[in-house]
């Protein structure tokens, strides 16, 4: 068999060697990406050192809310009763029409480290205005965006961030956020998409191409926001908020990725078809604001991902005599992919999405290509009216 493979390789002409070379390049690059981008999550220790109050810097936790009466009653007690780190919580009511502000007021009387404010009229892009109010009101150097839909924030969640604020050269701490499992096809898709986007972001950060897709569960130095002058011209961006500014000042050396079970948050949000599509739209809009060299790297990674499978099928058919050689190479990559994804999901406590995420990762690059093109066409049509 080995002799037949060598004979076949010797018979290849220049054009066929080019085709084999393209396939091998795609295979090697995808293997490199798997090991040193996605796989970087495995090279970090799972051990979490919990800070004591003396070692950690205080943090201002802030949240913006609109018509969140029930979520506030559910989430605020666990957030406000954390007792192992110095912190404050700031909530800004975004012109709620239910009893949100009344609920906020009741908690303010019970917890001295809880502060509230509000927008007194309905405006467009009000989330950004509410965030600006919260950041101006913050007393501490470090601020942390908390989603009011958050659940599963244990007593050590905040100290997991606070301990890492003691490093002199850190200005951003990135935690992992998962979606609460529910029944339904689109809940599964949303969970997988959130997982993949955040693992992708963490891998790029650790390889010196830093950016984030989500603003929640991210702590950063408050002064970085004001150095940029706030949102400025980005106020009118409908699909992203603090991510736009974080991606302006984020660097590899000054960022710590805290992907572990302690700093993990679970959010209970709607996960219907439109919510899933909005996750894709949001990522596309965030990438659009990145520097050109980062967009190029993201595009290059996406193109190699889409080309790998068609080229694998092509060389298997066209060079059938080499099928064993090709299958062994592709099998090694597949096995590494299975092992890495499974371990990463276990470390982030993302259960029961293993097989689904493999199929999703295989098919979704092609769907995203078509959908993003469709989304851009819709945007152009709206702007042209």
In a domain, 53, yes or no: no
**354 and 370 belong to one structural domain:** yes
**Domain harbouring 196, CATH code:** 3.90.550.10
Strand order in the sheet with 142-145: 114-118, 87-93, 59-65, 142-145, 218-221, 172-175, 255-258
Q: What is the pLDDT of residue 229?
A: 93
Residue 107 lies in domain? 59-289
192 token code pair: 């997988």
In a domain, 46, yes or no: no
Distance in angstroms (rounded) separating the CA atoms of residues 200 and 207: 11
* Cα 202 from Cα 257, distance rounded (Å): 7
The per-residue pLDDT string of the chain (385 residues; one tens digit each, 9 = 90 and over) reads 555 666 676 777 788 889 989 999 999 999 999 999 999 877 664 555 444 445 678 999 999 999 999 999 999 998 999 988 999 999 999 989 899 999 999 999 999 999 999 988 778 778 999 999 999 999 999 999 999 887 667 778 999 999 888 877 899 999 999 999 999 999 999 999 999 999 999 999 999 999 999 999 999 999 999 999 999 888 889 889 999 999 999 999 999 999 988 899 999 999 999 999 999 999 999 999 999 999 999 999 999 999 999 999 999 998 888 888 899 999 999 999 999 999 999 989 898 999 999 999 999 999 988 887 877 777 666 665 5
Rounded distance, CA 66 to CA 123, Å?
12
Is residue 36 a contact partner of residue 207, using CB atoms and an 8 Å limit?
Answer: yes
User: End of a domain among 289, 319, 339?
Assistant: 289
Residue where a domain stops, chosen among 289, 306, 323: 289
Query: Which has the closest alpha carbon to 247: 280, 282, 212, 218?
Result: 212
Pair 239, 99 in one domain: yes
Count the alpha carbons within 13 Å of 340 in the hemisphere toward its beta carbon: 22
What pLDDT is attached to residue 84? 85
Query: Three-state DSSP class for 376?
Result: helix
Q: Is the sign of the CA dihedral 159, 160, 166, 171 positive or negative?
A: negative
Predicted local confidence at residue 379, as pLDDT:
65
Domain count, the chain: 2
For residue 43, being part of any structural domain is answered with no
Judge if 255 and 323 occupy the same domain: no
Whether 41 maps to a domain, the answer reads: no
| Residue 245 sits in the same domain as residue 276 | yes
- What pLDDT does 52 receive? 46
Separation of alpha carbons 78 and 151, rounded Å: 9
In this structure, what token pair is assigned to residue 266?
């679970």
Is 220 found in the same domain as 203?
yes
pTM above 0.85, yes or no: yes
52 in any annotated domain: no
Residue 116: which of 98, 94, 97 has the closest Cα?
A: 94
H or E element that contains 174: strand 172-175
Residue 51: what pLDDT?
43
Q: What's the CA gap between 337 and 356, in Å, rounded?
A: 14
At 98 the three-state DSSP class reads coil
Quote the CA–CA distance of 156 and 82 in Å, as a whole number. Answer: 8
Domain final residue, candidates 251, 270, 289: 289
Q: 45 lies in a domain?
A: no
Q: How far apart are CA 154 and CA 202, in angstroms?
A: 23
pLDDT of residue 381: 64
Measure Cα distances from 360 to 195, 204, 314 in Å: 12, 20, 21
């Amino acid at each position: 068999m080995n002799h037949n493979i060598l004979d076949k390789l010797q018979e290849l002409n220049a054009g066929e060697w080019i085709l084999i070379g393209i396939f091998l390049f795609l295979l090697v690059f995808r293997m490199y990406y798997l090991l040193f981008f996605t796989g970087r999550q495995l090279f970090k220790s799972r051990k979490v050192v919990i800070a004591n109050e003396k070692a950690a810097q205080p943090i201002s936790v802030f949240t913006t809310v609109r018509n969140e009466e029930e979520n506030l009653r559910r989430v605020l007690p666990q957030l406000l009763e954390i007792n192992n780190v110095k912190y404050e919580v700031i909530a800004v009511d975004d012109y709620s029409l239910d009893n949100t502000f009344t609920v906020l007021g009741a908690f303010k009387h019970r917890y001295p480290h809880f502060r509230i404010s509000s927008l007194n009229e309905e405006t467009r892009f009000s989330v950004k205005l509410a965030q600006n109010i919260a950041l101006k009101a913050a007393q501490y150097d470090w601020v942390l965006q908390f989603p009011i839909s958050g659940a599963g924030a244990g007593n050590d969640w905040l100290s997991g961030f606070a301990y890492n604020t003691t490093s002199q050269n850190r200005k951003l701490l990135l935690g992992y956020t998962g979606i609460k499992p529910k029944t339904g096809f689109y809940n599964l898709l949303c969970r997988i998409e959130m997982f993949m986007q955040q693992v992708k972001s963490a891998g790029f950060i650790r390889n010196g191409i830093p950016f984030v897709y989500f603003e929640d569960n991210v702590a950063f130095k408050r002064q970085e926001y004001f150095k940029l002058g706030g949102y400025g011209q980005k106020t009118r961006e409908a699909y992203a908020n603090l991510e736009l500014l974080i991606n302006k000042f984020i660097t590899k050396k000054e960022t710590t990725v805290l992907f572990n079970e302690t700093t993990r948050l679970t959010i209970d949000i709607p996960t219907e078809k439109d919510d899933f599509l909005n996750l894709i739209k949001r990522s596309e809009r965030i990438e659009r604001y990145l520097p050109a060299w980062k967009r190029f790297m993201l595009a290059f990674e996406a193109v190699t991902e889409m080309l790998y499978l068609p080229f694998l099928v092509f060389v298997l058919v066209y060079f059938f005599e080499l099928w064993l050689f090709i299958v062994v190479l592709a099998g090694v990559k597949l096995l590494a992919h299975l092992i890495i994804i499974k371990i990463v999901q276990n470390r982030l406590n993302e259960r029961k999405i293993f097989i689904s995420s493999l199929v999703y990762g295989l098919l979704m690059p092609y769907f995203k290509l078509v959908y993003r093109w469709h989304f851009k066409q819709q945007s152009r049509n709206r702007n042209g009216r």
